[in-house]
Amino acid sequence: MEIAVVILNWNGKQLLEEFLPTVMKHSKEQAQVYLADNASTDDSILFVTTHFSEVKIIKNESNGGYAKGYNDALKQVSEPIFCLLNSDVAVTKNWLTPIIKQFSSEPNTAIIQPKLLDYKNPPLFEYAGAAGGFIDKYGYPYCRGRIFDTVEEDKNQYDAASIFWASGACLFIRKNVFLNLNGFDETFFAHMEEIDLCWRAHNQGLEIKYNPDSTVLHLGGGTLSAINPQKTYLNFRNSLFTLTKNAKGPLLLLIFVRLLLDGLAGVKFLFSFQFKHILAIVHAHFGFYYALPRLLKQRKSTLEKRDYYKLNSIVWQYFARKSKFYHK
């Protein structure tokens, strides 16, 4: 089998009961399915071994989050193509066939993302990745089909294309590329580690693609919901991490402007009385300052920085110009 579908799990028995059956139904002829368990204390493993004995179980010693969880688990996977699949994703018939075909015909394509639709409302793209991700000059991510909180309906308007980052909800990557990039940065714990990985791949001249012929449906919020301040903390901190490590250009100016824009986000939270999210941004900035010496060393170790953005500021386009949808 060419593909290893690796599902990371932590106390997610209910999600596995709902979503694993579709994965097995549409994958077992073309892929080996793994459950990478992050030291769960529920009956996740018992459920899988009882109902899906063909799934291979990898037991991680601790809950190291998304980044360390996958880094540890993938050391035990031999297939040449990894599919990192969230436990709250349903897949569709023949979802793997276009991916296998693309990897076979495009040797420089290192990472592929399928179409991500909303599990609860399938005509809509899903927030986490939609039709493939990009990033602006100051490190803010956005997607074809989703900019900030505006999500588009899928009308097949986004065709196959090179993208800047692929969503960690469903990310295909060649094993040799993952290993050569030294996997995920484990200091991220969760959120935006896939953008950092893709950015490092981009800086090495590798191609990241969106394939609309493969479709999956993502529930989203299975680990941390959007209203959780911890998610705000991780997103803001880890975004600063990726920008510092990987961005081309005058770093000091980029970071200064980015911190000001984060301050404006704090004002937005203030007017909506989301005070815990303001504290999360402050906490994220202090976490960034603490990590800065390490980040600068990591930045120095990256030999080449490539152009990475199409827009100077997605914040300006969305909030000031009121442009809510992706434009080429």
All structural domains of the chain, each given as residue ranges with its CATH number in brackets, are 3-218 (3.90.550.10), 229-303 (no CATH)
- With a pLDDT cut of 90, the percent of the chain lying above it is 95
Q: What is the mean pLDDT of residues 256-269?
A: 95
Closest CA to 16 of 7, 6, 29: 7
User: How much is the mean pLDDT over the chain?
Assistant: 95
Cβ(127)–Cβ(151) below 8 Å = yes
Within 8 A by CB and 6+ apart from 177, the residues are 110, 111, 201, 206
Cβ(58)–Cβ(37) below 8 Å = yes
Q: What is the mean pLDDT of residues 272-289?
A: 96
The predicted-structure confidence for 82-94, as pLDDT tens digits, reads as follows 999 999 999 999 9
Band of residue 147 on the pLDDT scale cut at 50, 70, 90: very high
The model carries a pTM of 0.95
The pLDDT of residue 110 is 98
Q: Indicate whether 224 pLDDT > 70.
A: no
Measured CA to CA in angstroms, residue 2 lies from 8, 30, 35, 84, 169 at distances of: 19, 7, 17, 14, 20
Residue owning tokens 């975004």:
239
The predicted-structure confidence for 174-190, as pLDDT tens digits, reads as follows 999 999 999 999 999 99
Cβ(110)–Cβ(208) below 8 Å = yes
Cβ(1)–Cβ(94) below 8 Å = no
How far is the first Cα of the chain from the last one, in angstroms, to the nearest whole number?
A: 37
DSSP 225-288: -TT-HHHHHHHHHHHHHHHHHH--S-HHHHHHHHHHHHHHHHHHHHHTT-HHHHHHHHHHHHHH
The pLDDT of residue 1 is 62
The pLDDT of residue 246 is 97
Measured CA to CA in angstroms, residue 116 lies from 18, 97, 218, 256, 320 at distances of: 18, 16, 7, 33, 28
Q: Which of 48-57, 108-117, 319-328 has the lowest mean pLDDT?
A: 319-328
Q: CA 115, 9, 109: angle at the middle one, nearest 5?
A: 35
